[in-house]
Amino acid sequence: MVSSVLLALLAAASAPLLSSAQTQITVNGTSSHPIPSTLWGLMFEDISHSGDGGLYGELLQNRAFQQVTPGTTAALNAWSAVGNTTLSVIADSPAISSSLPNALSVTFPSGAPRSGVQNSGYFGIAVRASSTYTASFFYRFPSTLPSAALTATVSLAGASSGTTFASGTVALRPTAQWTQATVALRPRTSAPDINNVFEVTLAAGAFVGTVHLGMFSLFPPTFGGQANGMRADIAQALLDLKPSFFRLPGGNNLEGQTIAQRWQWNNTVGPLTARPGRVGDWGYVNTDGLGLYEYLVWIELMGMVPIMAIWSGFALGGAAVPANQLAPYIEQSRQQIEFVIGSTSTPGGALRASLGHPAPFPLLYVEVGNEDFLQPSTYQSYRWAAFVNALQADYPNLRFLATSSFNSPALSPKPQSWDIHVYQTPTWFTQNSAFYDSFARDGTTFFEGEYAAISTNPNDIFGAPSSGRLVYPTVQSAVSEAAFMMGFERNADVVFAASYAPLLAHVTQNQWTPNLLSFDSGTVIKSTSYWAQWMFSNNRGDVYLPSTLASTSGALFWSVVQRVSPPAFIIKVSNTGTSASTGVFRLPSAVASTGQLIQLAGAANASNTPTTPSAITPQSRTIATGQNLSFSAPAMSLSVITVALV
Ligand code: LX5
């Protein structure tokens, strides 16, 4: 008795707390614009080993000694001796190819036990019993030829345990000419962790002398079986996002620190022995094994379209090509486009066909540079015009995107489209959900090519990372980005595409945080922001339905779209505040009495991390719905409600 009185008193006392703030939202039944099919997609560049050591399936690091200085310890990165060999990187003559001048010189002394070389991979190697690995390398004997073929053992082994998980043998013929050896490795058991190495060894006493090795490779099965393709678990995590486009190859990594170090498409296609690699913009060598053709074939496999950048005459170190010297660079860009879409009667199209893809790839968007607001003067005075005027004449159906700050300085010819970037605080994203509302409807369209809430400290955005910088996206950063993303749907008549950046990063070998997906050589971690992207992209509508505008100083943001088939309203609600908030949606027509809710929620600073990879994931359940749909959004949450029209 006493306890029930107490309960009633407690209930009365807590009632005001339960009734959260209410916002009345009227949804218009007449759509204002279709949602473009390109809206949600991916921005990619090789940063934080997102390409080499990440998406690109190759497992060996420094596989071909590209762009290293022979004779240095650094040139031996990821390599070490097994047994008694002596290793050094040399500039070999003959070289494997003119693009690959360097090789690994391995000397076996007399009386050596089992000896050879090992590679530690990209910070470990995952060894899975279900996979067949294809290993290969080039070899030659520069001086003393063995009297007969040698039997080399190629294996995958625990780095500290010494356990051999897989091994195979391959004959090394006595030859002074570069020769390729290939062997398939089928692990008997999976390794318990990624602390594994790849080894090439000779039995005790098998050989005394020197062998040169180079252009190694170790590939697990790739996503979709693509030759020289992508790591399956990372590609699958990206496919789950149902992305529509893929921006490549940068980002800063397009530009080079110097003009000579820029990304050059023609150095990234053809046999791996024809790719010199380059010093990337993020502090490590890019193998360019993940080249333009690999990107395009994979983009097609994934059902995406490319948004491809061309170099715009500016290197990150500050050098710009003078106007009267731009012609060869414009021609290189023209050839890049021709490789992608030219008919097979052109040299570029014929090269594409020779690699296995006679049909042109579906290219519509070409981005001229990256962040050319870093040198707006030369972009405005000649670089933009020189590239666009020449290339638009050759390819009138392409849309060229400008990358300087929107209309500042104004460009001529007037860009049809712009790529706009924003790295900011969660607060900025919530306060700017109406960012595109005031943009002119004059045919100009926008690509939000990079955006992310990166720090809770406004002073930290453009300065050195300090106290507020996020290591992994948080619930707060994800729901704040979602508030901004509501604005992409509302303004999808001018915003045709949007992508979070950066997309991928190795958990320890990174130059930037936070990132959408983090990985090591064995696992992939889906961040809170990944799940926000997933919720938007997997719950697209065909048309946008205007509704009462949210207050940009408030915490509750929403977007209502209509799906044609099967007919449904899809309502997205982001609550960026610290208390629950109710939206009462007055829908324009009758709906089913129940609908499906997908919700991401949690503590503001909660993240998915290597130790808590699934702390925050979207949860689904059925909820009661109706034409007057009252929905209480928990603090720090993103919700998607799908309700069928009746
Ligand atoms: C940013 C901008 C990281 C990047 C650039 C991209 O996603 O590479 O386009 O880097 S920044 O701010 O250091 O220039």
More confident: 5 or 124: 124
**Predicted local confidence at residue 316, as pLDDT:** 97
Confidence of residue 17 (pLDDT cuts 50, 70, 90): very low
CA 239 to centroid of ligand 1, rounded, Å: 24
Percentage of the chain lying above the pLDDT 70 cut: 96
Q: Which two tokens stand for residue 394?
A: 């050759």
Based on DSSP, count helices (H) and strands (E) in the chain, helices before strands.
10, 33
More confident: 113 or 1: 113
**Predicted local confidence at residue 439, as pLDDT:** 97
Given a cut of 90, whether residue 462 has pLDDT beyond it is no
Task: Write the CATH number of the domain with boundaries 74-219.
Answer: 2.60.120.260
Q: How far apart are CA 602 and CA 637, in angstroms?
A: 7
Query: Mean of the pLDDT values across residues 237-249?
Result: 99
The pLDDT mean for the chain works out to 96
Least confident of 12-16, 136-140, 147-151, 464-468: 12-16
CA 372 to centroid of ligand 1, rounded, Å: 12
Task: Write the CATH number of the domain with boundaries 42-57+223-537.
Answer: 3.20.20.80
Instruction: Report which protein residue has its CA nearest ligand 1's atom 14.
Output: 252
Q: What is the pLDDT of residues 370-422, one digit of tens each?
A: 999 999 999 999 999 999 999 999 999 999 999 999 988 899 999 999 999 99
CA 256 to centroid of ligand 1, rounded, Å: 13
CA 292 to centroid of ligand 1, rounded, Å: 21
Instruction: Report which protein residue has its CA nearest ligand 1's atom 12.
Output: 462
Given a cut of 90, whether residue 15 has pLDDT beyond it is no
Looking at the CA of residue 501, tell me the nearest atom of ligand 1. Answer: 7
Query: Mean of the pLDDT values across residues 121-135?
Result: 97
Looking at the CA of residue 370, tell me the nearest atom of ligand 1. Answer: 9
Looking at the CA of residue 43, tell me the nearest atom of ligand 1. Answer: 7
Q: What is the pLDDT of residues 514-531, one digit of tens each?
A: 999 999 999 999 999 999
Model-level pTM?
0.95
CA 251 to centroid of ligand 1, rounded, Å: 6
CA 268 to centroid of ligand 1, rounded, Å: 22
DSSP state of 550: P
Percentage of the chain lying above the pLDDT 90 cut: 94
**Predicted local confidence at residue 464, as pLDDT:** 64
Q: 52, 290 in Cβ contact below 8 A?
A: yes
CA 421 to centroid of ligand 1, rounded, Å: 9
Q: Domain ranges in the chain?
A: 4-33+542-644, 42-57+223-537, 74-219
Instruction: Report which protein residue has its CA nearest ligand 1's atom 9.
Output: 251
Q: How far apart are CA 613 and CA 610, in angstroms?
A: 5
Q: 389, 413 in Cβ contact below 8 A?
A: yes
CA 45 to centroid of ligand 1, rounded, Å: 10
Confidence of residue 335 (pLDDT cuts 50, 70, 90): very high
DSSP code string of 579-613: S-EEEEEE-SS-B-SEEEEEEEE--TT-B--SSST
CA 252 to centroid of ligand 1, rounded, Å: 6
> Residue 268 in 3-state DSSP?
coil
Given a cut of 90, whether residue 16 has pLDDT beyond it is no
CA 229 to centroid of ligand 1, rounded, Å: 25
**Predicted local confidence at residue 20, as pLDDT:** 58
CA 50 to centroid of ligand 1, rounded, Å: 14
**Predicted local confidence at residue 465, as pLDDT:** 60
Residues with C-beta less than 6 Å from any ligand 1 atom? 45, 47, 250-252, 370-371, 450, 501-502, 512
The residue whose CB lies within 8 Å of the most ligand 1 atoms, and thus the one to mutate among 262, 450, 455, 529, is 450
* Alpha helices for 130-274 (secondary structure H): 232-239
CA 612 to centroid of ligand 1, rounded, Å: 27
Q: At what angle do helices 327-341 and 384-394 cross, to 10 degrees?
A: 40
Q: How far apart are CA 467 and CA 460, in angstroms?
A: 8
Q: What is the pLDDT of residues 283-330, one digit of tens each?
A: 999 999 999 999 999 999 999 999 999 999 999 999 999 999 999 999
Looking at the CA of residue 452, tell me the nearest atom of ligand 1. Answer: 7
Residues 622, 625, 629: CA angle, nearest 5 degrees: 135
User: Which residues in 473-567 belong to E strands, given as ranges?
Assistant: 495-500, 504-506, 517-519, 524-526, 543-545, 556-563
Q: How far apart are CA 575 and CA 579, in angstroms?
A: 8
Q: 534, 482 in Cβ contact below 8 A?
A: no
Instruction: Report which protein residue has its CA nearest ligand 1's atom 7.
Output: 502
Instruction: Report which protein residue has its CA nearest ligand 1's atom 6.
Output: 251
**Predicted local confidence at residue 468, as pLDDT:** 87
Confidence of residue 461 (pLDDT cuts 50, 70, 90): confident
Looking at the CA of residue 462, tell me the nearest atom of ligand 1. Answer: 12
CA 317 to centroid of ligand 1, rounded, Å: 14
**Predicted local confidence at residue 14, as pLDDT:** 39
The residue whose CB lies within 8 Å of the most ligand 1 atoms, and thus the one to mutate among 252, 282, 405, is 252
Give the rounded distance of the alpha carbon of 87 from its chain centre: 35
The answer regarding whether domain 4-33+542-644 maps to CATH 3.30.200.20 reads no
Q: How far apart are CA 248 and CA 333, in angstroms?
A: 14
Looking at the CA of residue 502, tell me the nearest atom of ligand 1. Answer: 7
Q: What is the pLDDT of residues 200-228, one digit of tens each?
A: 999 999 999 999 999 999 999 999 999 99
Instruction: Report which protein residue has its CA nearest ligand 1's atom 4.
Output: 251
Q: What is the pLDDT of residues 587-632, one digit of tens each?
A: 999 999 999 999 999 999 999 999 999 999 999 999 999 999 999 9
Looking at the CA of residue 281, tell me the nearest atom of ligand 1. Answer: 8
Given a cut of 80, whether residue 114 has pLDDT beyond it is yes
Query: Mean of the pLDDT values across residues 30-39?
Result: 97
Looking at the CA of residue 512, tell me the nearest atom of ligand 1. Answer: 3
Task: State how beta strands 305-310 and 285-286 pair.
Answer: unpaired
Cis peptide, bond prior to residue 348, ω within 30 of zero: no
CA 468 to centroid of ligand 1, rounded, Å: 18
Confidence of residue 11 (pLDDT cuts 50, 70, 90): very low
Instruction: Report which protein residue has its CA nearest ligand 1's atom 3.
Output: 502
The residue whose CB lies within 8 Å of the most ligand 1 atoms, and thus the one to mutate among 371, 404, 515, is 371
Q: What is the pLDDT of residues 559-598, one digit of tens each?
A: 999 999 999 999 999 999 999 999 999 999 999 999 999 9
**Predicted local confidence at residue 21, as pLDDT:** 78
Question: Residues near 280 by Cβ (< 8 Å), separated by ≥ 6?
Answer: 46, 253, 286
Q: How far apart are CA 369 and CA 300, in angstroms?
A: 23
Q: How far apart are CA 50 and CA 245, in angstroms?
A: 17
Confidence of residue 13 (pLDDT cuts 50, 70, 90): very low
**Predicted local confidence at residue 12, as pLDDT:** 38
